[in-house]
Amino acid sequence: MRVSVRVFALLCACVVGALVPSRAHAQHAGATDPVLRARALRAGSPLKMFIPSGTVRIVAWDRDSIVVRGRVPSSGTLMFGGRDTSGYKLVIEQRDGGELPESHLLIYVPRRSQLSLKTADAIVDATDVSGWFYTVSGRYHIDGAASSLDVEAMSGDIDLEATTPFARAKTGKGHLVVRGTPQDVDASTIGGTLDIATSSIMHGRFTSVTGDIHYAAAIAPHALFELSTHSGTIDLLLPHDVSARLELSTVDGEIDNGFASVRPAAAGVHNLRLSLGAASADITVRTFKGKVIVRSR
């Protein structure tokens, strides 16, 4: 099956657009909002934050300080403590009997800070920050440069658009997208859809239980991919001149080969091996009940 370049571009745009968190109703704090806290902070110091709800914008800058701007409702209290030599802890606490505080914060941190952020349902945008991020049902969008990223959600959406040597992302029911220019990626869902729309990955492990996995990008030379799911569909949309060795297998599903003009190295009802181009990359796909689709643009 051949898909035109224009159609391929539209498909990639749809993948990316579907995963970018909607901010139409978000009330992000800005640089003109009041300063809530401002302290000296050495580069590389750890930062631990708990911001349950609302919107959070975190930006790394080239200053040895942390600045917090924005608004905290009367139902919440901002707790801030620590020292610049050992890092800081920022917590939004719920007042007794009050509603879950929806804070709207803009936080500037030193560029090499290691961040640990937990939220309940907050919408988070982070740029040029590294560290560990967790949410229950919130949404994360992370871009810029990072030394490493570890992002986890129970049912929230995750959109990774960062440049990083290593990224790990996991969500249960949420929608997970991987783009930007990461190199080593471990991405997984349980029932959510996983979309990969970047050609920079050299080592990728992509897994789900019932969620679908979509790959729509070129393959880097000498890349090594493993894709697996129990009952979801794995759909690979690759350039017609891709250079890769594909090993596809399913226990009780089916395989749809869009490279029909290429003679398989091995073929059966539930397994297929293809050598495309110079076969410089290795892709292994396994499902139990899921369907495997390989298409070319």
Q: What is the pLDDT along the chain (297 residues), one digit of tens a residue?
A: 344 444 444 445 444 454 444 443 456 777 789 999 999 998 888 999 999 999 999 999 999 999 999 999 988 999 999 988 789 999 999 887 667 789 999 999 999 899 999 999 999 999 999 999 999 999 999 999 999 999 999 999 999 999 999 999 999 999 999 999 999 999 999 999 999 999 999 999 999 999 999 999 999 999 999 999 999 999 999 998 999 999 999 999 999 988 776 655 555 568 898 988 898 999 999 999 999 999 988
Encoded tokens for 215: 């790959």
pTM (2 d.p.): 0.87
Report the DSSP beta bridge partners of residue 70: 105
- Give which of 33, 34, 79, 25 is closest to 52, Cα–Cα: 79
pLDDT at residue 262, rounded to an integer = 61
Q: Which residues contact 288 (CB under 8 A, 6 or more apart)?
A: 229, 230, 231, 250, 251, 252, 253
To which H or E segment does residue 16 belong? helix 5-19
pLDDT in tens, 150-200: 999 999 999 999 999 999 999 999 999 999 999 999 999 999 999 999 999
Residue 261's pLDDT is: 63
pLDDT of residue 267: 57
The DSSP-derived string for 154-167 is SS--EEEEEEEEEE
pLDDT attached to residue 259: 79
AA letter at 101: P
Residue 246's pLDDT is 94
The CA-to-CA distance between both ends of the chain, in Å, stands at: 8
Say how far residue 83 (Cα) sits from the centre of its chain.
32
